Amino acid sequence: MSPVLAGVLQLLALIAALALAYRPLGDYMARVYSSEKHYKPEKWIYKAIGANPSAEMRWPAYLRGVLAFSAVSVLFLYALQRAQGVLPGSLGFQAIDPDQAFNTAASFVANTNWQSYSGEQAMGHVVQTGGLAVQNFVSAAVGMAVAVALVRGFARSRTGELGNFWADLVRGTVRILLPIAVIGAIVLVACGVIQNFAGIHEVGQFLGGSQQWNGGAVASQEVIKELGTNGGGYFNANSAHPFENPTPFSNLFEIFLILVIPFALTRTFGRMVGSLRQGYAILATMATIWIGFTALMMWTEFAHHGPAFDVAGGAMEGKETRFGVGASAIFSVATTLTSTGAVNSFHSSYTGLGGGIQLLGMQLGEIAPGGVGSGLYGMLVMAIIAVFIAGLMVGRTPEYLGKKIGTREIKFAACYILVTPALALGFTAAAMALPTPPHSMLNSGAHGFSEVLYAYTSGANNNGSAFGGLNADTQWFNSTIGIAMLLGRFLPMVFVLALAGSLAGQKPVPETAGTLRTDKPLYTGLLVGTILIVTGLTYFPALALGPLAEGLAS
């Protein structure tokens, strides 16, 4: 079987699996977030934290809950890393340096999981399982809670109440993420992913000598890092490591985990607003961009010229032979179009245009399908922008789902889409103006610039994947990328929740003959165009200096 055909068949199998899971998972999540019943274990959690899960919250109170919980999480994870040297199961590793501990705490709480360290050489069992893995669950649940709050803003009227953050957080963790993660971990163990608390031991090498490896609860952390679109990895090689991703089947299963909740949330959205067709329109937009980017990535990597590429069946540098070009390309697009950051190949080794596709996928705002929760609320913000543009074209006050999009709403939406570009481009410019990057960059010229741009784009968009070739374990990069991750995560949430509160307080507008139908293919096309144009105008100059220049020169 040719490598191209194998890649296409894997893509078709993935689409079929996502289609099978779409309806039951989407409906189940809608029931979870609409239920008024509290299970006994959930009641114990509410009692422990002193929360009243039945009390409705307006958007400022909801936001305070998000920020307070996240701030405590950052402090806890920072303290855990700084105390690692005296913790049991530390495997002899010492406390993490202050700047790296801050960077890692900010990274995992912000659902970014950017790692400027080698996991197997720095983190003991307690930090990995009691710190990092726990944040994989709750940071994903926070994103889902904010998305559901925005959906309630569309579904409710004449009230500023958006639900209860603590109830949404606990339900998302206990009823959605935990059950799927348990099943997924069993599947990964069956595939050969390790799951133990072994210490450091010697492993023989084929060419003689030995290498030190430590065990860990890898399968349980691997499944939630993908399912919660977190990223990162137990080992430095990430999902290219055979202990994390041993077989082609485990690779395809991990891609499925990355995509299944973000895609299914469009069904949840349709259920909660009372119109499945609206959910299908958002799904069609996400799927169009995702399939288009995957096809482009496979083309750039399979069609690269040269005798070495012809013999290998494509651009195989930096890719695992057990996965090949097709599976690596699918994984790469899935991880950069979501806020995952897991990688099964070396992104810096992709072709120039392939690296540009990875960058652009993050720069779109990771909304196709995006991160768990963040993809849905990011896409709904872009839907509001598209409706506003359509209203300007016909001279009519824009409406979306029976809500008028006025000055207040469009200001919140505009602020949302400006935050991450300002962070990514601003920090990239500052870094390139300082003498620090040349000492950290493995490459010079356009590729070196792409390394720095990728790092800050990954941090500000809460992706967490690395282009490679950049030594980011410096005080400058640890501090600035940490700040970019926190601001890139929580500033947009401020505008999303403020927008949700504004929408929830409105009186529904009756649909008329002049109302733009947002459940039709015409609107889907308008939304895709709006996303690409807004992103292109924002990032094209930077892309022209990096991956486009490199791709055109090769």
Higher pLDDT, residue 324 or 257:
257
Number of domains in the chain: 1
pLDDT at 449 over 80: yes
- pLDDT on residue 347: 84
| CB 74, CB 132: distance < 8 Å | no
Q: If we measure between CA atoms, which residue out of 215, 183, 211, 209 comes closest to residue 197?
A: 215
pLDDT at 140 over 70: yes
- pLDDT on residue 206: 66
- pLDDT on residue 554: 63
- pLDDT on residue 289: 96
pLDDT at 514 over 80: no
Q: At residue 451, what are phi and psi to the nearest 5 degrees?
A: -60, -45
- pLDDT on residue 439: 65
pTM, rounded to two decimals = 0.93
Assign 397 a pLDDT band (cuts: 50, 70, 90): confident
Assign 56 a pLDDT band (cuts: 50, 70, 90): very high
Which amino acid is present at 299? W
Stretch 497-514: mean pLDDT, rounded? Answer: 89
Stretch 306-316: mean pLDDT, rounded? Answer: 56
In this structure, is residue 124 part of a structural domain? no
In this structure, is residue 7 part of a structural domain? no
pLDDT at 313 over 60: no
pLDDT at 111 over 60: yes
In this structure, is residue 305 part of a structural domain? no
**pLDDT tens figures, 247-296:** 999 999 999 999 999 999 999 999 999 999 999 999 999 999 999 999 99
Q: Which two tokens stand for residue 438?
A: 């040349």
pLDDT at 307 over 60: no
In this structure, is residue 196 part of a structural domain? no
Compute the distance between CA of residue 469 and CA of residue 472 in angstroms, rounded to an integer. 9
Compute the distance between CA of residue 234 and CA of residue 244 in angstroms, rounded to an integer. 8
Averaged confidence pLDDT in the chain:
89
Compute the distance between CA of residue 265 and CA of residue 56 in angstroms, rounded to an integer. 22
Cα angle for residues 247, 351, 107 (degrees, 5° grid):
65
- pLDDT on residue 74: 96
Close Cβ partners of 439 (under 8 Å, ≥ 6 residues apart):
471
In this structure, is residue 66 part of a structural domain? no
- Residue 211, classed as helix, strand or coil, is strand
DSSP 288-357: HHHHHHHHHHHHHHHS--SHHHHHHTS--TTB-TTTHHHHHHHHHHHHHTTT----SB-GGGS-HHHHHH
Assign 509 a pLDDT band (cuts: 50, 70, 90): confident
Q: What is the DSSP letter of 441?
A: B
Higher pLDDT, residue 337 or 543:
337
Compute the distance between CA of residue 503 and CA of residue 326 in angstroms, rounded to an integer. 43
Assign 143 a pLDDT band (cuts: 50, 70, 90): very high
Higher pLDDT, residue 402 or 393:
402
pLDDT at 499 over 70: yes
In this structure, is residue 532 part of a structural domain? yes
Compute the distance between CA of residue 85 and CA of residue 94 in angstroms, rounded to an integer. 4
Q: If we measure between CA atoms, which residue out of 399, 420, 367 comes closest to residue 538?
A: 420
Which amino acid is present at 126? V
pLDDT at 378 over 80: yes
- pLDDT on residue 306: 53
Long-range residue pairs from 292-297, CB within 8 A, at least 24 positions apart, any chain: 293/333, 293/337, 293/357, 293/360, 293/361, 293/368, 294/11, 294/329, 294/330, 294/333, 294/334, 296/357, 297/329, 297/330, 297/332, 297/333, 297/354, 297/357, 297/358
**pLDDT tens figures, 212-221:** 777 888 999 9
**pLDDT tens figures, 159-203:** 889 999 999 999 999 999 999 999 999 999 999 999 988 877 777
In this structure, is residue 195 part of a structural domain? no
Stretch 474-478: mean pLDDT, rounded? Answer: 85
Return the minimum-mean-pLDDT range out of 2-16, 240-254, 480-494, 508-522.
Answer: 508-522
In this structure, is residue 425 part of a structural domain? yes
Compute the distance between CA of residue 204 and CA of residue 553 in angstroms, rounded to an integer. 43
Share of the chain above pLDDT 90, in %: 60
Looking at 340-435, list the stretches that DSSP marks H as alpha helix, in order from N- to C-terminal side. Answer: 352-363, 374-394, 407-433
- pLDDT on residue 151: 97
- pLDDT on residue 91: 84
pLDDT at 314 over 90: no
Cα angle for residues 124, 173, 156 (degrees, 5° grid):
145
pLDDT at 305 over 80: no
Domain holding 430, by residue range, is: 371-553
- pLDDT on residue 503: 95
Reply yes or no: is the peptide bond before residue 369 cis, omega within 30 of 0: yes
